[in-house]
Structure 1
Amino acid sequence: MPPEDEKPGSASQGGSKSQQKPSSKKSERKNQRRGGGGEEEKPEDFIDPETPNGEKKKLSPVMAKQYSPSTVEKAWYAWWEKSNFFRADADSKKPPFVIVLPPPNVTGALHIGHGLTASIEDLIIRWRRMSGYNTLWVPGMDHAGIATQVVVEKKIMRERKQTRHDVGREAFVNECFTMDEKRSKAVTEAFVRLYKEGLIYRDHRLVNWDCVLRTAISDIEACEVDYKDIKERTLLKVPGYQDPVEFGVLTSFAYPLEGELGEIVVATTRVETMLGDTAIAIHPEDKRYSHLHGKFAIHPFHGRKLPIICDAILVDPEFGTGAVKITPAHDPNDFDVGKRHCLEFINILTDDGMINSNGGSNFEGMPRFEARLAVVEALKEKGLYRGAQNNEMRLGICSRTNDVVEPMIKPQWYVNCQSMAKEALDAVMDENNRKMEIIPKQYAQEWKRWLENIRDWCISRQLWWGHRIPAWYVILEDDQLKEIGAYNDHWVVGRNEKEALSEALGKFQEKKFHIEQDPDVLDTWFSSGLFPLSVLGWPDSTADFNAFYPTSVLETGHDILFFWVARMVMLGMKLGGDVPFRKVYLHPMIRDAHGRKMSKSLGNVIDPLEVINGVSLEGLHKRLEEGNLDRSELIIAKEGQLKDFPNGIAECGADALRFALISYTAQSDKINLDIQRVVGYRQWCNKLWNAIRFAMNKLGDDYCPPVNIEVQQMPFSCKWILSVLNKAISKTVSSLEAYEFSDAASAVYSWWQFQLCDVFIEVIKPYFSAESKFDDWRKASKDALWVCLDTGLRLLHPFMPFVTEELWQRLPQVAGSCNRRESIMISEYPSVVDAWTNEPVEREMELIESIVKSIRSLRSMMPPNERNERRPAYVMCHVDIVSDTIRRYELEISTLASLSSLKVLNENDAAPAGCSVSIVNEQISVYLQLQGNLNAEAEREKLWKKREELQKQHDNLEQKMSSSGYKEKVPQNIHEDNLKKLNKLLQELSIIDEADRKLIDTGNGEN
C-alpha cells in the first residue's frame, strides 16, 4: 500500500516536525524569489490560468501547495491531440509498434476492466513511442450483438412498454447504432471469400437456443452462457414464468412395448422432451434387453413407433435402467445418436419456447416448463409414471436474459475451423517456426487445448442488431415450399444484392424467381475477429495495412482467449496472410475487494470515471437507478454499495487509478481491487508534487541545468542517487520488455519513494545551508537533483502521464538546448548511463541505511513526546575499515537519523552511559542517548529477546548442517553460504553478549 500523504522531510523519514517549519526569514526569501518582495502570497498565484481548448496548458506562476487531480489532468490531453503527438506516420522510417484496442461494446457502460485494458495499453504505447517507435494505437467499438439488443429491448420496454416486435426491425436498429461502413465492408468480404473457399456452409444442427431472445447462442462463451451446477431438487426463477421451475429431478416413466412384450423404463431430467422422442437406446451386450433387439415401443400420446436401437457409445448398462430415451432434436448426445442411426428429428418447440403441433394437440401452445408438469400428469393418468428422485445436473443459463438454454435443431451458418485452427495452433506451439507468443506462458496450454478440440463455429444469430448475413435465398416460382431456407441449395452469397442476383441468374438460368436476404445477423465475434484487419483498411491494400500489419501486441483479458483471440488469429492468417499480432498479453480479471465477480445486481461494478472524478454514495445509487435492474435487484445492489462505499469514492484522478491497476497485474489471474489502494496512490502523487516543490525552491529561479554532469566530481550522495537511478531504469525497462508491468511499476515507485524522497532529498538538505564549506556540494546536488527529476519523470511518464507532464513542464530547461522536446510524451525514454553505475558507493549507502534504520527503531520505542527530538548517538564498530567508512558519512547518518551528534567508537571503548542499544550486524551496534536515567534491565530484556531469536536461527542452521547426508546432498556453494551465515550469527551473538555485559557495568555504575 502506498504511504499516507507525506512531504519530503516529514517526521516519518526521521526528521523532526519542528525542524521542518519554515522561519519567517525563509518565507520572506520565498516571496522574493516569486517576485513578490516581502509581500504576502497571493491566492491567484497558485491558480492555473484558463487554457483555450487544444492549446498548451497555462500553468500558475507558483505551484499549488497540494496536488489536485482534476486541476493537474485538465487541458493536457486536448493539447497532446491537437499537437498530433499520438499520430502515427505510415511513411515513417522508425520501426512500427501497433496495438489494437479490444473494442468495448456499444452498451455504453464503462467498467473497471476497460480501465485496466486502457491503462496497460497506453503504458505500452507511451513507452514505445518514447523509445523511438512509430506507434499506432487503434481504438474500436464492438456492436456486441446480444448484449446491445438486450439493453435496447429493456430500455424500450421500460420507457414505452413495447417489445422489439412491436417497434419493428428498422426502427429498432435505429434505436441502437449504425454499423461502421469500413467494418461492414470487411465483414462482407470475409464472409464471401470464406464461402467461396467452402469454409462457410449452412446446415441443420443442434444449437443452444434462447427462447427469450429467440436466437442461437454459443455454448462455449462465458459471456453468453453460464453453467449452474445443481445438486438436488431446486426451484429457479425463469423469465416468463410466474412460479419457480423445478430442476435437479430425474423422472422415470415407462414406454409400452409393441406386441404386448411389456414395458421399458427410461428416466430424464427434461420429461417434456419425451414428446419428441424417436427411439430408445440400449447397450448391445445388455442381456436384459437382448429379446428387444429390432423391436419397437409405442409413444403413449402419439402412437408413434419408437425403434429399440443398440448403441454402445451412448448407453452405460450400469446406469439407471440401462435404457435411454432418444430425443435427437433436443439433446446433443441424442443428436449424435440420431445421426448414427438415421433417426427422425422432431422439433417440439416454437422459437419462443412453446410446445408446437409436433408435441400433440393436448400440449400444443403450452410453455415448455408448464408442459413438463402436464406431461407428468398425463403419464400418471396412463399408469406410466414410475417416480422421481434428486439428480445432479448442469444447467445452461443465458447470462444476458437468465433464460434456461434449450438445445434445438436449427438451420445455421457455420465456419469450418479445422484447417485454420491447425495453422493458429502451430503459430504458437511450433518451436521451429513460432510466429506468435502468448504471455503469461501458461495460457499456451489452454490455447492448445481449445484448438486441438475445436468444433465448427456457428456464426449466425437470429437477432436484429448486428452485421446482416450477405446471403440471399432464391425463391423459385415453381417451388413447392416458399419459406426462406426450405431448400438448402437455394442460397447464394454476394457482396451486395446485385451480385447475389447475378449469382442466382447463373444458378437458375431459365427459371423465374425472386431473392430475399437472410434476416439473420452474424455472431459479433465474427466481425470482432476481423478487427486487426478491418481497422487498418482491409480488404483494400491501404498504406496503413501495408505499414502496420501484423500488429505488435494484443492486450486483453484471458477470459476471451478462445472466443476472440483465437478467432482473430485464424481469420488473420487466412485472410491477411500472417498472424494479426506477434505477442498476446493476457491480463487478470478484476474482482471486488472481497474476491467476488463484479455484477450490477451486487452493486459492486465500478465505473472508472467514478474513481477518477469521485462520487458520493447518492451518486452511486443514482447510477443503479438509471440502469435496467428490477426492484429486488436494485435493493440488493444499493445495500452492497452502502457496505463497500459508505462515504462514496474519493476523487483519485486518472494517474492514481492507472498506477494502481498496473501494480495489481502481478496478482495471478484475478485482481481483488481495493479502492483504498487507489486512494493511496493518489496520496503518493502528492509526494511527487512536494518533491518538485522542494526542488524548485532549492534550485531557484536563476538555476541553469548543465548540458553534461561529471559524476566522479560529485559528493557521495549524488553519486549514489544516480547509481540507483541507473538500476531503476534497467529494472523498469527489462520488466516492460518482459511484460511484467507490476515489477516495472514497483521499480519506478521504489526509486521515487524510498531512494529519492526518503533518502536523497533528506540527505542533501544540509548542503543548502549558508555555510561556505557546502558551496561545491550545493552546486553538484542541484545538478544531480535536476537530472534525477528530469529522468525520473520521464521514467514514470508512461505510468502517470498527466502529473509527470505538468511537473516536467515546470522544470528549468538547459540554456540554449535544442534537444528538449515540446512534451514529455515525445521525449526520450531513459536508458542506462554506464558512467553513473557505482557499486562501492551503493554498498556504503546500504551500510548507512542499516545504521539509520537501527537508530530509528530505537527512537520508535521511546515515549511519543520524545521521538522527534534530536539527540546524540554512538556507533560501536569492531572493524577499523568499517569505522573509517562510518566516520566519512557522519553528516549523512546524522541527517537521516535526526541526530544532534554522532560518535564512532571502537570495540575497546566503554559503552556510553544512558543509552538504548541495537545490534546492526556482526560488526556494528548503535547506541541512542536517552533522557533521564537508563532502565538497564529494560534494555537488557530487549537484547535478550534479540539473542533468543538469533540463537534459534543458529541452532536450526547448525542442526541442518549436522544432519545425516548433508555434506553429500548439499552443493558446495550452498554449504559455503551456510558456513558464512553460521559465523555471522555467532558474531552477532557475541556482540549481544558484549553489549549485555556493558549494560550490567552501566547499571552497576549507576547503582
Structure 2
Amino acid sequence: MTSLSSSYDPTQFETRLYQQWESSGAFKPRGEGEPYTILLPPPNVTGTLHMGHAFQHTLQDALVRYHRMRGFDALWQMGTDHAGIATEMVVARNLGQEGLTRDGLGREGFIGKVWEWKQQSGDTIERQMRRLGTSGDWSRSVFTMDPMAAQAVIEAFVKLHEQGLIYRGQRLVNWDPVLKTAISDLEVVNEEEDGHLWSISYPLVDGALADGSAFLTVATTRPETMLGDTAVMVHPDDERYAHLIGRTVKLPLTDREIPVIADAYVDREFGTGVVKVTPAHDFNDYQVGQRHKLPMINIFTPDAVTNDSVPERYRGLDRYVARKAVLADLEAAGLLVETKPHKLQVPRGDRTGQVIEPYLTDQWFVKMDGFAQRGLELVETGKIQFVPPNWISTYRHWMENIQDWCISRQLWWGHRIPAWYDEAGNIYVGRDEQEARGKAAAAHGGQAPVLRQDNDVLETWFSSALWPFSTMGWPDATAMDARGFDRYVPSSVLVTGFDIIFFWVARMIFMTDHFTGRVPFKDVYITGLIRDSHGQKMSKSKGNVLDPIDIVDGITIEDLVAKRTTGLMKPTDAPKIEKATRKEFPEGIPAFGADALRFTIAALAGHGRDIKFDMGRAEGYKNFCNKLWNATRFVLMNTEGAQFAGAPQPRTDAERWILTQLDRAAAQAAEHFAAYRFDLLAQTLYEFAWNNFCDWFVELAKPALNGDDADAAQSTRHTLLHVLERLLALLHPLVPFVTEELWQAVAPRLGITGTTIMHQPYPQAGDLDTAAFAQAEADVEWLKTMVSELRRVRSELNVKPSAAVPLLVADANPADRERLARFDSQLRFLNKLQGIELLADVADAPASATAVVGDMKLLVPLEGLVDLSAERTRLDKEIKRVEGEIAKCQGKLASETFVNNAPAAVVEQERQRLVDWRTQREALQQQRAKLG
C-alpha cells in the first residue's frame, strides 16, 4: 500500500514541503544553463499581502518553476520596498495608540520605530509569500533601504545632478495637507462627488460688454482660491470679449487689479466663456501662468490654512472656512451671481482621504524630456516587448505627455536627499557630507561653511526605478560581480499591473538604460487588476478585501467580519460591510490550500482583462487536487512492488492513446507558457489531468490490470506510473505542493533519482515518439464514444450499476465490427455487459433503448429492465430534443447570409450535423414505434 493518506489534506504537507525546499537550497540559481531572471515587484512593508500580490506572485512563480525545470539558470530576485508615506502613516498611527507622536520622538527616534515596524511587517510578508509557495532565492533578498540599495540611490542622485538632470525648483505638486508632503499622481484618487458651481462677477476697470454691463462673470467650484487669482481668461477668437483683451478687472474682495488675457485653453461654449486663472492652485492654470508669465500667488500654508498673501480678514482660516467667508462677503457685495449643484471630480489622497491641494512649493525634479524620448525608443524598436502589445499605446501616451518628475517628499522615512545648504541657501550635492563639504570649501575659497542637510527624502518610485540594477550590486564592481550583474541583467520578464506602467515600468526602462546601457527586462507582461466576484475593485473602504492567506488556511466568519470592519476610514460603514460579509460568507471561508488558490488564479488570468475572483472556482480546483490525489492512490495501489526504468513500451491501444494525449498536452503547455496564457495553460492541463488521465485512462487501464494478459497488465502499470509522473511535472509550476507530495511517492517506482520534482525535466513534445500511435488514438476515441453512449443509456434507464445488460448492435460496418471484436473485453468490463450480439437487421430487435454511434445502432433490450411506459416518455422527450437540433441546423442552412458568408468548412460541418441528427431521429423513431 501507498504511504499517502486516504484523503487530500493540504495542511498535512504544504508547510512541511516548503521548509524542505528552502532548507535544501532548491530555489537558488544553479549556475548552469541559459539565465532566466524575474524581478519581484517589491511589496511595501506596510502590513500584509493582498490578492493582487497573490495573483502576480503566482504567475511569476509558475514562470520561474517552469524555466527551472527546463534547465534554465533560474533566478527570482526577492525584495521589499520601504514605502515612505504608507509606512510613516502606519507607524504614526501605531505610536498614537501608545500615546506617542512622530514630532515628540524626533527624526532619529521616529526612524528607529519605523525600523522596528519594518522588521515585523517584512517578516509577515515573507512568511505569507512562503505560504503561497514562492520559490525565490531568499538569500539574495533586498530591501530598498539596505546599504547596497541605498548606495545605488545616492550614486544615481549625485550623477544625475552632476549631469544637470536633477534640479531644485518651484512648481505645482499634489500636496496632502494632512501628511504635509508632495505625493505622486498614483497616490491621488479622483472621485465624483456632489458640489457646487458658483458664478461671480469681476468688475471691469475700464470698458464694458456689448450689453452695457461692467462685469465679467466667471464660474468656479473653488471660490476661496479667487484670492490667488492673477488673471481672467477668454478665448482669443471669442468676439464677445476681443475688445477687452489686455484690459483689467478688479479682483473682488481685494485691492488688486488683474489682466484679461486670451488663451485657446478656454472653452467658449462653457458658461460665459470667461474663466479665472489661479496659477498656484490649479494644474491647468499653472500651465497658462507659465505661458503668459503670470505671477504665482500661493495663498495656503502647508496644512491648507490661508496665509499672509490674502487680505487680512481672511488670514489663518482653514480653506473651507475661508470659502464660507468669501461667499458671504461676495453675496453681501452683490457679486455672487448664482449658486447651483454641480458634480465634480475631487482628488483625495489614497492614504488620508483628504482633498489634495495643488500647491506651489520648492521640490527636487528630474528633467524628463530626454529620458522620455529614450524610454519610448526602446519600446518602439522592440528591444522591450509588451504583452499584450496593446499596452504600448498607453505607454506611448504617457511618455509623449510627460512632465518633469518631482522626486522629493517631506517625510522622514526614506532615502534622505544628499544635498547640503550653506547659510546663503547655496546647494552642495555629494555622496556624503564630507564630499559636500569639500565642494562647499572649494566654492568659499578653501574654508567650508556651516552646512545643513536637506530634510526631505526621495520618493519611493526613485529607488524603485533603480531596482533592476540596484539589486545586482551597482555601482560597486565587487558586489556586481558577486551577484551576477552581467549574467542576470537584463531580466527575462517583468510581471506587473497596468496601473504602474508609467510610475514604475517606464522609469526602470530609462534609468537602467541611462546608468548601465542595458534594458532592464526583455518582456513586460501586463496583468489586469484582481476584483471581487461582482467586478468591484477590492478596497478596505468597500469592505470586500480578501486576504489570500484566509483562502489558503480558512477563516471564521467572526474573524473575517472583524478584519473587514476594523480601522475603517468611515466607521459608520461597518454595519453595511458586516451585513454584506455575512451574506456572502455565512460560515466564513473554508481552507482551500495554496494549490487551489494558485490554480484558480492561473485559470482566471486571461489577457487584457481584469479578474473577477470567484470563490466557487477555488472550491472546484480544490476538488481537482483531490481528484489528482485519488488517481495517484489508485495508481500506487495497482503498482505495489513494481519497479520500472526508462520509457514505457505500450502494448495496448489505451496506452498508446494516453501517451499521444500527453505529448499533445506538453506541446500546448510550452505554447501557453511562451505566450503568457496562463488561463489556457490551466485549461489544457485540467482537461488532460481530469478527463484524459483520471477519468478515461484510469478506467481504460482497469480491464488490462484485471485481465489475463500479464504482459499487457505490466505494460499498463508502467504507463500509468510514467504518465502520472509526467502529469505531475506538467502541473508542478501551477500547483507545486500537491505535485511534490505525490511525486515523492511515484518517482521511486520509476527509478527516478533526485530529491524534488522541481529539478526534474519539464515534459516536452517529442520526449516519446508517438507518431505511430495515430490509429490507436482514433480507435480509443471510438471506444470512448461507445462507452459514453452506453453509460448514458444506462443512466437514463436508471439501471443499477451492478446489473449486467445485453447489447445488440445493428448496422455495424466492417471497421466497427473489427473494433467491437478487439475491444470486446473492455466494453464488457466498462459497461457491465452480459454479451455483445450483432444483428443483421435492426427490425429484428426487440423493444430496446437505443443509442447511435456513427451509422451503428446500439440497442439495450428493455424487457425485464425498465418500465415500458417510462421508456416511451423518455423516447418522446429525446425525439423532441433531436427535432429541435434538426430545426436549428435547417434554419442555419436556409439562411443565405450563413451559407454565403461562413467558411466553407463550417457550412459543410453544419450539413453533416443535419445528416447525423436525422439519422439519430430515425433510429429513435423506429425504437419508439416498437413500444406501441
User: Is 2:482 the partner of 1:547?
Assistant: no
Q: Please report how far the alpha carbon of residue 260 of structure 1 lies from its aligned counterpart in structure 2 after TM superposition.
A: 8.7
Report the residue type matching 1:786 in the other structure. L
User: Is 2:856 the partner of 1:924?
Assistant: yes
Determine if contact 1:356/1:365 at 8 Å carries over to the other structure.
yes
List aligned pairs for 1:575-724, cutoff 5 A: 575-624=515-564, 627=567, 631-666=571-606, 668-700=608-640, 702-711=641-650, 714-724=651-661
Match of 2:677 among 740, 745, 748: 740
SS at match of 2:15: coil
User: Is 2:11 the partner of 1:74?
Assistant: no
**Which residue does the alignment assign to 1:196?**
162
SS at match of 2:591: coil
Q: Return 5+ residue gaps in structure 1 as ranges.
A: 1-33, 35-60, 235-246, 477-486
CA RMSD after TM alignment: 2.4
TM-score (norm 1): 0.84
- Residue deviations 1:243-273 (CA, integer Å, cap 9, x gap): xxxx2x1112222333696333222110000
**Closer/same/farther in 2, CA of residues 663 and 984 from structure 1, 3 Å limit:** closer
User: Is 2:178 the partner of 1:228?
Assistant: no
Determine if contact 1:436/1:579 at 8 Å carries over to the other structure.
yes
**Closer/same/farther in 2, CA of residues 834 and 775 from structure 1, 3 Å limit:** closer
Report the residue type matching 1:138 in the other structure. Q
Report the residue type matching 1:661 in the other structure. I
- My pick for the range that moved more, 130-139 or 679-688, is 679-688
User: Is 2:294 the partner of 1:358?
Assistant: no
User: Is 2:237 the partner of 1:271?
Assistant: no
User: Is 2:185 the partner of 1:185?
Assistant: no
SS at match of 1:874: strand
**Which residue does the alignment assign to 1:4?**
none
Determine if contact 2:851/2:858 at 8 Å carries over to the other structure.
yes
**Closer/same/farther in 2, CA of residues 789 and 524 from structure 1, 3 Å limit:** same
Report the residue type matching 2:191 in the other structure. K
**Which residue does the alignment assign to 2:428?**
492
**Closer/same/farther in 2, CA of residues 448 and 929 from structure 1, 3 Å limit:** farther
SS at match of 1:600: coil
**Which residue does the alignment assign to 1:888?**
822
**Closer/same/farther in 2, CA of residues 338 and 870 from structure 1, 3 Å limit:** same
Match of 1:530 among 466, 472, 478: 466
**Which residue does the alignment assign to 1:280?**
232
Distance 1:1003 1:148 in 2: 79
Determine if contact 1:723/1:836 at 8 Å carries over to the other structure.
yes
- Residue deviations 1:748-787 (CA, integer Å, cap 9, x gap): 2211111111011112223333x5x231211111111111
Report the residue type matching 2:416 in the other structure. R
Distance 1:980 1:123 in 2: 39
Determine if contact 1:910/1:998 at 8 Å carries over to the other structure.
no
SS at match of 2:806: strand
Distance 1:159 1:203 in 2: 39
**Which residue does the alignment assign to 1:217?**
183
**Which residue does the alignment assign to 1:1003?**
931
**Which residue does the alignment assign to 2:508?**
568
Distance 1:456 1:357 in 2: 29
**Closer/same/farther in 2, CA of residues 367 and 798 from structure 1, 3 Å limit:** same
**Which residue does the alignment assign to 1:799?**
734
Match of 1:319 among 248, 256, 270: 270
Report the residue type matching 1:474 in the other structure. D
**Closer/same/farther in 2, CA of residues 165 and 850 from structure 1, 3 Å limit:** same
Determine if contact 1:883/1:904 at 8 Å carries over to the other structure.
no
List aligned pairs for 1:411-490, cutoff 5 A: 411-430=362-381, 434-476=382-424, 490=426
SS at match of 1:251: strand
Determine if contact 2:176/2:355 at 8 Å carries over to the other structure.
yes
Q: Please report how far the alpha carbon of residue 424 of structure 1 lies from its aligned counterpart in structure 2 after TM superposition.
A: 2.0
Q: Please report how far the alpha carbon of residue 551 of structure 1 lies from its aligned counterpart in structure 2 after TM superposition.
A: 0.8
Match of 2:662 among 707, 725, 746: 725
Q: Please report how far the alpha carbon of residue 908 of structure 1 lies from its aligned counterpart in structure 2 after TM superposition.
A: 2.2
SS at match of 1:579: coil
Match of 1:410 among 353, 361, 373: 361
Distance 2:363 2:583 in 1: 47
**Which residue does the alignment assign to 2:128?**
none
Q: Please report how far the alpha carbon of residue 590 of structure 1 lies from its aligned counterpart in structure 2 after TM superposition.
A: 0.8
Distance 1:450 1:620 in 2: 40
**Closer/same/farther in 2, CA of residues 315 and 623 from structure 1, 3 Å limit:** closer
Determine if contact 2:248/2:260 at 8 Å carries over to the other structure.
yes
- Residue deviations 1:208-247 (CA, integer Å, cap 9, x gap): 111111111223x2xx1111234xxx2xxxxxxxxxxxx2
- My pick for the range that moved more, 974-983 or 454-463, is 974-983
**Which residue does the alignment assign to 1:959?**
894
Match of 2:255 among 292, 299, 303: 303
Q: Please report how far the alpha carbon of residue 63 of structure 1 lies from its aligned counterpart in structure 2 after TM superposition.
A: 2.1
**Which residue does the alignment assign to 1:348?**
299
SS at match of 1:402: coil
Distance 2:404 2:318 in 1: 31
Distance 2:904 2:552 in 1: 54
Determine if contact 2:892/2:898 at 8 Å carries over to the other structure.
no
Aligned positions, number: 890
Distance 1:911 1:358 in 2: 107
Q: Please report how far the alpha carbon of residue 924 of structure 1 lies from its aligned counterpart in structure 2 after TM superposition.
A: 2.9
Distance 2:56 2:237 in 1: 57
Q: Please report how far the alpha carbon of residue 526 of structure 1 lies from its aligned counterpart in structure 2 after TM superposition.
A: 1.0
SS at match of 2:894: helix
Q: Please report how far the alpha carbon of residue 814 of structure 1 lies from its aligned counterpart in structure 2 after TM superposition.
A: 5.7
Match of 1:115 among 41, 51, 54: 54
Report the residue type matching 1:760 in the other structure. F
Determine if contact 1:105/1:142 at 8 Å carries over to the other structure.
yes
User: Is 2:452 the partner of 1:516?
Assistant: yes
- Residue deviations 1:608-652 (CA, integer Å, cap 9, x gap): 111111111122234346646553244333333212221111111
Match of 1:830 among 753, 763, 766: 763
Q: Return 5+ residue gaps in structure 2 as ranges.
A: 119-144, 209-213
**Which residue does the alignment assign to 1:63?**
4
Report the residue type matching 1:257 in the other structure. L
**Which residue does the alignment assign to 2:438?**
502
**Closer/same/farther in 2, CA of residues 285 and 717 from structure 1, 3 Å limit:** closer
SS at match of 1:107: coil
Determine if contact 2:592/2:622 at 8 Å carries over to the other structure.
yes
SS at match of 1:205: strand
**Closer/same/farther in 2, CA of residues 831 and 284 from structure 1, 3 Å limit:** closer
Determine if contact 2:198/2:339 at 8 Å carries over to the other structure.
yes
Determine if contact 2:173/2:359 at 8 Å carries over to the other structure.
yes
Determine if contact 1:855/1:927 at 8 Å carries over to the other structure.
no
Distance 2:847 2:594 in 1: 52
Determine if contact 1:704/1:812 at 8 Å carries over to the other structure.
no
- Residue deviations 1:784-814 (CA, integer Å, cap 9, x gap): 1111122111111111111111111112536
**Which residue does the alignment assign to 1:128?**
67
- Residue deviations 1:432-455 (CA, integer Å, cap 9, x gap): xx2111111221221222222222
